[in-house]
Structure 1
C-alpha cells in the first residue's frame, strides 16, 4: 500500500477517544440536569447561556482538505483525498449558514496566549501538500467567502522541476500539479492565506523493518538492509532536523516570513520531532484524529477532521453532529506466538491467515501480543521487537501491526506485561522478583524497585520506537496480593491499586515519547468487580481503572471462574459494571472463547452469541474476546462476524 493511503486509513477507522473531555462533560451536565427539574429563572437561563456560549468559544474545529477538482467521482475516486469543487463550495456555504466563524492560525495562536477569545463555532481550514488546485480552485472561493486558511506545502514539491515526478498515489504528479512560489506569494499577499511547512522531503515512506515494510519518514528509524541495522536515535533526529530546517528556510527565503506551524506528513509525529519544530520557531502542529478541541497553551497535535471520499454537505453535517462517544469497540486479542514460526515461509502463511480473518471479521481493534510466551505461563520470555533488556524472539511486531493497519484496516494496540518479565540475567531476575507465597503465581518483578521501573519503562519506549501502535493493553499480570512485598507496598488496598496505576502511567509516558496520544486499556480480573473486598487480593478496582485509563477490559470469563451458571454469572457482572461510575462507557467486556479448565474446549458459538446479545441488550458498548485462533478458524469467521464485527451490517464482503 502506498504511503498516500496512510492518513486515509487512519481517518476511515476513526473512533474518538475523549479522555478528560468526557469526564468534564459529565461533571458539567450534573448541575444543569438538576436545575432542569425546577423552572429556570431569567438569571438561571442567562447563566446557562453564558456557560454554553463560553464552552463554544473555547472550541476549535479544524478541517483538512487536499485536492479540489471539478472531475472528482461522486464516490470511489482513485484519489480518496480529492473533493469536488461543487462539494467544497457547498461546505463553505453550509459552514457560513450554520454559524461557523472562520479564524486564521494567528487567531488561534493569540487565543492560546490569552490575548483574545476565539468566537463561538470557530473553524480553521487547512490544505495539505501544496497542490495547484489551492490556487486555481480554492483561493477564488476563499476570497468570495472571505475565509482565511492555512496552506501546508512540501517545499521540495513547490516549483517541481519539469523533469521530475512525484508518486502521489493515484498517478505520477508533475510540475503542473503543484503550486509555484509566485502563486504562493500572490495568495499570501491577500491576507487570507498563511503558509505552513509540510516538510521538504518527508512526505514519503522509508523502510521500517527487515521484511521491507515502509512507514512515514518523519517517525521511523530507517532499516538499512545493506548494513543490517536500524538508524540510531541521533541519526534519525538529525535527518528530521535537516529536512525541517531546509523547509523553513525555503519558506522564509521565498515568502519573507518564517512559518509558525508544521503539518507533519500523514500526521505522523512524536514529542522529539515536535521539539525540533519548536526550536525552529514552529510551535503549532496538527493531527488527523478527532474533530474539536479546546485551545490551550499547547498547540501541538491539534485535531483535524480529514475530508476524504468526496463528502457531501450531508456527510459533513453528519460528521460534525455524530456523537463518537457512542461508538463501540470490537476487539480481537491475538497471540503473536501463533504467527511466529522458525520457517519464514510458514510464518508468512500464518500472517496471511491472520490478515484475511481480520479483514473478513472487521473488528475495530486488534490487541496484538508484543511479547513471546511460548511456555504459556503468563510472563514474557522474549520480545517481538528490538529492545535493550530482553531477548528478541523475532523482529515481528512492527510488520504484523503495520500489515493489520494497512491491509485489514483496524487499530492495533500493543499488548504487553506490566510486571511479568523473565529477565535473562538470572541473578538480577531473582533479586527483583516478587516472592509469591503461591508457587503457581505468575512470575512478576517488584514495581517498587527502581531497577524494575527503569527496565520496564525502557521496554515500553523500545516498543514505541520499533513500530506502529495506537494504544497499549496492560496485561493482567499487574496485581499485588495482600501478603506480598510487605514493608514496601502500601498496606491499604486502594493505595496499592493506585501505586500500580501510577506505574502503568509511567509506562504510557515512556511509550508516549515516540507515539503521541496513545489510548490505554487495562486488563481487570472479574473478582474485584463482583466483590469489592477482593481488591485486597488483587490491587485492582473498576472505578479507579475507569478514571485512570481510556478503557478497562474486564475479563468476563465465567468458565475461567468455574461458574456453574455462566449466563447468570455474566448477568451479575453486568449489574456491577452498571453500578460503577462510567461503567458502560469505559468497560470492555472481554469474553473467553475456550474453556481452559477443560482442555481448551471451545465455548459453543451459540452460547457466545447469546451472551454477546444479552450484554448489548443490557447496555454494553464494548466487546472483545480472547483467544482469537485464526490458525484453526476458531471461533469460525462467520460466527466471529456476528459478534465482533464493527460493520453496520456484519456480512462477508464480496
Structure 2
C-alpha cells in the first residue's frame, strides 16, 4: 500500500500472463540488460495452488491465483527454453554477501501456503527439471491434525488434506531442492482493523477491539505478531529439522516492526508482492515477487520480466485522478454517512479512474489547512475515524488506488499544544513593521518540535490506515520573506548565509542560495515523511507533490515559492498541478494552453505531471459545466498531457456528469483496440 497487494488479499489477483512453451522463441534481446550480467539481480515468481479443474472463464474460478499442472509445466519449460536460470535462496544470500555471482537471468521459484498440490504436482516437476524452490508454510494450516478441516480464517474452513503434512515438508527439505520459509503461524487472514468492522491483513494491521472501543497499542501489536512468528519458526524447526531463515509476508504486507521481529528470530530474507526485478539496491528484507495467476500466457510473462517496477521505471503509467474530500463523506448520523459512502463507491466504480486522492483532514473553508483529522492521531482532534474505512472500501470495491492527501505544514494545532506557536513567520518590511506570513498559518519546517509533530501525524496515518500513496499539499512552500523565525535563521547560518532575511535578499547570489536551500529543505522533509510511511507500511508508497501553477508559468518560482517543476519531477512519482488561475475563475483557453506549453518545455517533467482541473468555480462555488471539463481534458491531451484529473468530485450532487467525462477519465477507455495495450 505497498505495499499491500489488495487483489491477492481478496483472492482477485488479476491476469499477469505467461504463454505456452510455443512462445519460447521470443527475442531474448528484449529482456532488461541489468537482469543478465551483474551477478546480483534476480526475479522471483510467486505460485500458489495447482489445480486441474480450472476453466477459462474467470468468473468460474474459485481461486484466481491457482494454476493448472500443465501451465506449471509450461512455465518451467519456458524458463528453460529462454535460458532463465532457477536459483536457490542460498545462492542469492551468497551472491549478496560477496560470494559466487548469480547466473544471468536468475529466477527464484516460490510457492505460498504449502498446499498439498505443491507436494503431489509441483515437487515431481521440480525434481524432473532439477529446479530449486522456496515453499512458505502457514504453520497453523499444516499443523492441523490429520482428518480435521483446516480453519484458514475466523470464518472459513478447508477440507482435510488440502494442505501438506509435516512429513511432506520434511521430505522436500531433505531433497536439497526446497527451502522451507515461514508464512506466519496464524496471521494469513483478515482481522477487524477499524470501528466499522473492515478486515485488513492481520499481520500488518493494528487490530480494533470493538468491545473496548480502541485500537491495539504498539506494545500489544508487537507482542502478538512476535509470538506468532516465534510459534511458526518453532514448529517448522521441530518438524523439518531446519530453522527457517526466510519470511514470506501474507498478502505481501509488512512493516518495519514485522521485519525487526522476524530478523531477531533468524529470518533475514523477506519476500513481498511488490513488482519488479530485485536489483542490487533492493535489500534482502524486501524481495519483490511477481504473482502468478491462473491465466498466465507467455507474451505477458516476457512483458512482466521486462518491467523495471510498478511505477519507477521507463514506462510511467497513465493516471486518471479524482479528488475526494472526506468532509463530503462525513455525517454525524452514521446511517447517512454510510449512505454517502455508498454513493461515492457507486460513482467511482462507474467512472473507473486510476486513483482517488482522498483528503484525510477536515478543511471547512477549503484553504488546505487541517483543523482536524479523519484518523486516530496524537496531536489534532479526530473528527471521525473515517479514512481507514473509506480508503479500504474504495480499494477493494472499486479497484482504484487511494492516495492520502495531507498538508505538509498547515496543521492548526489546538491552543496550548507545545508546537502550536512554532509557525512560519515573515521578515519585517523595509520600514521595520511586521509582515504577515504568506497564506494560511503553517508550522515552521525548521523548528524541531514542529517537525516532530508533523512526523507523528504521518506516522499515525501509516499505523492506523492502509493506502497506496501520499499527496503533499500546496501549503508546502515558502515565500520571499519566509521563514524568518529563530529556528529558520539558525538554519540559514548553518548554510553559510547571514542570519538576516533582509541581508540575504539584498544580495542576488545569497538570495539564490537561500531559495535553493529552502527548496531542498522542504524536499528533505517530504522525503523523510515518505520514508517513515514506507518503512511502516512496507512496499512502495507512491509520492505526489503539489505544485502551484504560477511556479511553472513565472520564471522565478524557486525564489518566490521554493517550488520547482524539474526538482519535483526528479524527486516524486507524480507532480500534481492544479490548473486554476489565481482569481479562482475557470481557466481560459489561452491560459490553459500557456500552462500546457510551459510544462511541455520540460519533457521529463511532462511524463510525471498530473493536470488537475477545477470542477468548481472558485469565485461562486458553482459547478463548472462537465462539457467544459471534457473539452479542457481533450485540449490538454492534444498538447501532450498524459495524466489528468479534476477536483473536487461532488458525488452527492452527481457532479461532474459521469456520462460526459467517462470517455476521458475511465482507465478502461485507455486501451488501444487493435493491440489491447495500455496507452
Match of 1:78 in 2: 62
CA distance in 1, matches of 2:82, 2:38: 14
Match of 2:84 in 1: 100
Instruction: Please identify, of 534-543 and 149-158, the stretch whose mean Cα deviation from structure 2 is larger.
Output: 534-543
- Give the match's secondary structure for 1:123: strand
Instruction: Find the partner of 1:451 among 445, 449, 452.
Output: 449
Q: Spell out the pairing of 1:312-391 with structure 2 (5 A cutoff).
A: 312-321=297-306, 325-391=315-381
The residue number in structure 2 matching 1:407 is 397
Could you tell me how far 1:318 is from its partner in structure 2?
3.8
Give 2:240's match in structure 1, choosing from 220, 244, 255.
255
Partner SS, residue 175 of structure 1: coil
CA contact (8 A) 1:262 1:277 kept: yes
- The alignment's TM-score, normalised by the length of structure 1, stands at 0.88
Q: 1:510 aligns with which of 532, 535, 538?
A: 532
Matched, 1:308 2:290: no
Q: Work out the CA distance in 1 between the residues paired with 2:346 and 2:155.
A: 25
Residues in 1 aligned to 2:37 and 2:516: alpha-carbon distance in whole angstroms: 35
Q: Which residue of 1 aligns with 2:478?
A: 480
- Distance change >3 Å, CA 560–CA 519, structure 1 → 2: farther
Give the alignment of 1:10-409 within 5 angstroms. Answer: 12=14, 57-76=39-58, 77-161=61-145, 162-167=147-152, 172-296=157-281, 298-321=283-306, 325-409=315-399
Tell me, yes or no, if the aligned pair for 1:587 and 1:622 is still in contact at 8 Å. yes
Matched residue SS, 1:62:
strand
The answer to whether the 8 Å contact 2:437/2:482 transfers is: no
Superposed displacement of residue 248, structure 1: 0.8
For 1:169 and 1:75, locate their aligned partners in 2 and report how far apart those are by CA, in whole Å.
Answer: 29
Paired with 2:210 and 2:268, the residues of 1 have a C-alpha distance of 35
Cα shift readout 1:208-244 (whole Å, capped 9, x = no counterpart): 0111111111111111111211111011011111000
Quote the residue 1:30 is aligned against.
none
Tell me by how many angstroms 1:354 deviates: 0.9
> For residues 539 and 424 of structure 1, what CA distance do their matches in structure 2 show?
28
Query: Structure 2 CA distance, aligned partners of 1:211 and 1:8?
Result: 18
Q: Determine the C-alpha separation between the residues in 1 that align with 2:284 and 2:624.
A: 49
Query: What's the CA shift string for 1:133-188, capped at 9, x where partnerless?
Result: 10011111111221111000101111422334324799731331000111111112
Q: Match of 2:607, SS? A: helix
Structure 1 CA distance, aligned partners of 2:137 and 2:583?
56
Summarize deviations over 1:76-112 as a string: whole Å, max 9, x none. 1121111111112111111211121111111111111
Match of 2:430 in 1: none
Q: 1:601 to 1:53 in 2, by over 3 A?
A: closer
Is 1:496 matched with 2:518? yes
**Structure 2 counterpart SS, 1:468:** coil
Q: Residues 12 and 556 (structure 1 numbering): CA distance in 2 closer, same or farther, change over 3 Å? A: farther
Change (3 A) 1:379 1:297: closer
Conserved? CA contact 1:559–1:595, under 8 Å: no
* Residues 291/4 of structure 1: CA separation in 2 closer, same or farther (3 Å cut): closer
Deviation track 1:259-299 (CA, whole Å, cap 9, x = no partner) reads 11110111110011101111111111112121312035721
- Where 1:625 maps in the other structure, the secondary structure is strand
Q: What secondary structure, in the 3-state scheme, does the structure 2 residue paired with 1:422 have?
A: coil
Number of residue equivalences: 613
Q: In structure 1, how many angstroms separate the alpha carbons of the residues matched to 2:139 and 2:230?
A: 11
1:537 equivalenced with 2:535 (yes/no): no
Distance 1:86 1:143 in 2: 16
Aligned-residue CA RMSD (Å): 2.6
Q: How far does residue 364 in structure 1 lie from its aligned partner after superposition?
A: 1.4
Do the aligned residues in 2 keep the contact of 1:524 with 1:542 (CA within 8 Å)? yes
The 8 Å contact of residues 84 and 310 in structure 1, kept in 2 or not, is answered as no
The answer to whether the 8 Å contact 1:218/1:268 transfers is yes
- The 1-side partners of 2:583 and 2:158 are apart by 57
What is the distance in 2 between the residues matched to 1:447 and 1:206?
A: 37
Instruction: Determine the structure 2 residue equivalent to 1:618.
Output: 639
| Cα distance change on mapping 1:485 and 1:295 into 2, 3 Å | closer
* 8 A Cα contact 1:6 1:406, kept in partner: no
In structure 1, runs of 5+ residues without a counterpart are 15-48
Residue number in structure 2 paired with 1:41: none
How many Å apart are 1:560 and its aligned residue? 5.2
Q: TM-score, normalised by structure 2?
A: 0.85
Cα deviation digits, residues 32-68 of structure 1 (max 9, x gap): xxxxxxxxxxxxxxxxx99868656442111111001
Taking the aligned partners of 1:419 and 1:648, their CA distance within structure 2 comes to 38
Relative to structure 2, which stretch is displaced further, 427-436 or 210-219? 427-436
Instruction: Specify the SS of the correspondent of 1:352.
Output: helix
| 1:45 alignment partner in structure 2 | none
SS in 1 for 2:288: coil
Measured in 1, the distance between the counterparts of 2:418 and 2:601 equals: 44
Q: Contact 1:590–1:623 (CA<8 Å) still a contact in 2?
A: yes
Q: Secondary structure at the match of 2:577?
A: strand
Unaligned runs of 5+ in 2: 17-30, 427-434, 493-510, 672-679
8 Å contact kept, 1:151–1:196: yes
Residues in 1 aligned to 2:441 and 2:338: alpha-carbon distance in whole angstroms? 32
Deviation at 1:121, TM superposition (A): 1.1
Q: Structure 1 residues 75 and 619 mapped into 2: Cα distance closer, same or farther (>3 Å)?
A: farther
Three-state SS of the structure 2 residue aligned to 1:473 is strand
Change in CA separation of 1:52 and 1:474 when aligned onto 2, cut-off 3 Å:
closer
Distance (Å, rounded) in 2 between the aligned partners of 1:240 and 1:267: 15
**What's the offset of the Cα at 1:520?**
0.9
For the 8 Å contact 1:361–1:644, the answer to whether it is kept is yes
Partner of 1:43: none
Task: Work out the CA distance in 1 between the residues paired with 2:32 and 2:277.
Answer: 20
